[in-house]
Structure 1
Amino acid sequence: MSRTERIGTFTRDGLVFDVRDEGPIDGTPVVLLHGFPQDSRSWEALAPLLHRRGFRTLAPDQRGYSPGARPRARRAYRSTDLIADVVALIDRAGLGPAHVVGHDWGAAVAWGLAAERPDRVRTLTALSVPHPAAFVRAMLTSRQILKSWYMFAFQLPWIPERVLTPDGFGYRALVASGQSPDDAKRDLGPMRDRTRARGALNWYRAMPFISPRSASRKVRVPTLFVWSDGDTAIGPVGPKLTSRFVDAPYTFEVLRGVSHWIPDEAAERVDELLGNHLLDQS
């Protein structure tokens, strides 16, 4: 495609994904992958800072979140499909390999993309969530399994969809985790649509279909991993183990006193880190 053409949507396997394409049209592309229960709006604080640095940002509403990309079956949310969705976006942009930044579940997809398709990734930046193999080891050797109790609760039918509301348990849980009340309402408001809630939860419900071999592959592109010590969902063990699974230049940064919601809470600090990481590889 032309460098002067914006992307509002892209398609894959009959699904239509919405995209926020912003910043200098001729800038080096940065793909921003949101997590649960957020969407592309979670990058509203960070994206303008990247634009000032001359980067073009492509932030999709991922599978389950875009109205045109909400398959019902949980198998449709396997990591192989989530990764292929991002490859389709990068190919649609037609601008060559992209810098990829992911938070929460978006970080998990970014790790997988960098390991499986390094030809599409210029650099990787993962926020909050460690390499999948490091996370599994942490689950088996630390209190991480207790912090991840909700992953098991989300396997239940119907009930999780009912509690993901801006005025119920879901709201209280997000605020207790450190998210601001306004951001929690922003993210949970759309969950009143049960098809969206189901799509978001299916990322967890598809976890039994993850291939252990695929999840353990090393990343061989320049990598920045940012974790925050106020994260109630991710303990320190997985982040400390992550360096074992990166065979490339690797930087690990810890944000002190910051909650799990790094893009909203610490956008300026992340921008500073990305400024060094991305520009070194542009």
Structure 2
Amino acid sequence: MTTTAPLLYVRTSMLDVAYEAHGPADGKPVILLHGFPYDPRGYDAIAPELAGHGYRVLVPYLRGYGPTRFINEQVMRSGQQAALAKDLLDFMDALAIPQATLAGYDWGGRAACIVAALWPERVSGLVTGDGYNIQDIAKSLTPRAPETEHRLWYQYYFHTQRGVDGLTANRRDLCQLLWSLWSPSWAEGPGLYEQTAPSFDNPDFVEVVIHSYRHRFMYAPGDPALEAIEQALVLQPAISVPSISLCGADDGVGPPPEEDDDVAHFSGFYRRQVLPGVGHNIPQEAPQATLDALLELLA
């Protein structure tokens, strides 16, 4: 299923953000955020349902994806976590949204977690894929368990020029491989990939992706304009807003541990739900569970 929502644009200080809107303009706002390598198609089974409940549902394309564009050629094509969070905050400001319920996974989950942690007054509830998604960059150079290192091969690939060239030349095939590795039990995934793949043709996709995976390991400097946010994240701030963590039991990039090691990062209402038979692309693989979690927080 592909959404029939109109494609709209709003200008922030850095971007012309493309987004899809569902539901009444005066409804309580819900913002749904995709990850890498995905796009708003991940929420096609969720956004219309929320709209049917009277909510204003906004699904933006992140920087470097789809029709979203930088407005200035000189702006750094940063993919660091602070950039994603600032984009979300700027998006809300540009649309005059004082507070919203957020849902996100992977990159989008990171943006949502950061805004919830640093600007809790802007967030009424949070559905996060895989728990506390704020990177602890200071610890990034410490080797992890071999099986974890193996699952992160693509990140190390992107640290090299070969990875830049490979992503440039083979972005659709590479992203399709990640889809299959990260969601090994998702039977519908291969048939849906071509709906999302055009979003990776964005002219800034490669540069933003490469910077994201280099910055998180301290192999690339961040945008100086975002340093204050990055410094705040060094403290690994707690998330105080009501939160539900959805974890795919079959996630091929970050399978959930048996014991929830994120719970200490949440100081308000929080619960974790592990979803059997679900991989990394949580909202598209488990739309009903995602919808139920959102409606629980919106009630």
Contact 1:99–1:124, Cα closer than 8 Å, also in 2: yes
Farther off after superposition, 211-220 or 245-254 = 211-220
Counterpart among 85, 88, 93 of residue 86 in structure 1? 88
Q: TM-score, normalised by structure 2?
A: 0.80
Farther off after superposition, 234-243 or 245-254 = 234-243
1:172 matched to 2:177? The reply is: yes
Q: 1:175: Cα distance to partner? A: 2.5
Counterpart among 116, 119, 124 of residue 118 in structure 2? 116
| 1:109-188 correspondence to structure 2 within 5 Å | 109-128=111-130, 130-132=132-134, 140=144, 143-156=147-160, 157-165=164-172, 168-178=173-183, 180-188=189-197
Contact 1:34–1:102, Cα closer than 8 Å, also in 2: yes
Q: CA 1:177 to 1:7, structure 2 compared with 1: closer, same or farther past 3 Å?
A: closer
Contact 1:147–1:235, Cα closer than 8 Å, also in 2: no
Q: CA 1:238 to 1:122, structure 2 compared with 1: closer, same or farther past 3 Å?
A: farther
Deviation string 1:122-154 (CA, Å, 9 cap, x unpaired) is: 111101353335896997468433322222212
Distance in structure 2 (CA, Å) of the matches to 1:51 and 1:80: 29
Q: CA 1:89 to 1:212, structure 2 compared with 1: closer, same or farther past 3 Å?
A: closer
1:220 matched to 2:222? The reply is: no
Deviation string 1:37-88 (CA, Å, 9 cap, x unpaired) is: 1222221111112112221111111111144228687663332222111111
Secondary structure class of the residue paired with 1:132:
coil
Q: 1:255: Cα distance to partner? A: 0.6
Distance in structure 2 (CA, Å) of the matches to 1:21 and 1:98: 14
Contact 1:258–1:266, Cα closer than 8 Å, also in 2: yes
Contact 1:72–1:199, Cα closer than 8 Å, also in 2: no
Secondary structure class of the residue paired with 2:45:
coil
Q: 1:193: Cα distance to partner? A: 4.9
Contact 1:30–1:100, Cα closer than 8 Å, also in 2: yes
Q: 1:107: Cα distance to partner? A: 0.5
Contact 2:248–2:255, Cα closer than 8 Å, also in 1: no
Higher helix share: 1
Counterpart among 230, 239, 244 of residue 250 in structure 2? 230
Distance in structure 1 (CA, Å) of the matches to 2:106 and 2:205: 18
Q: TM-score, normalised by structure 1?
A: 0.84
| Equivalent position amino acid for 1:189 in 2 | P
Unaligned runs of 5+ in 2: 1-5, 223-229
Contact 1:74–1:206, Cα closer than 8 Å, also in 2: no
Unaligned runs of 5+ in 1: 1-5
Partner of residue 271, structure 1: 291
Q: CA 1:257 to 1:36, structure 2 compared with 1: closer, same or farther past 3 Å?
A: same
Contact 2:243–2:268, Cα closer than 8 Å, also in 1: yes
Contact 1:220–1:247, Cα closer than 8 Å, also in 2: yes
What's the C-alpha RMSD, in Å, of the aligned pairs?
Answer: 2.9
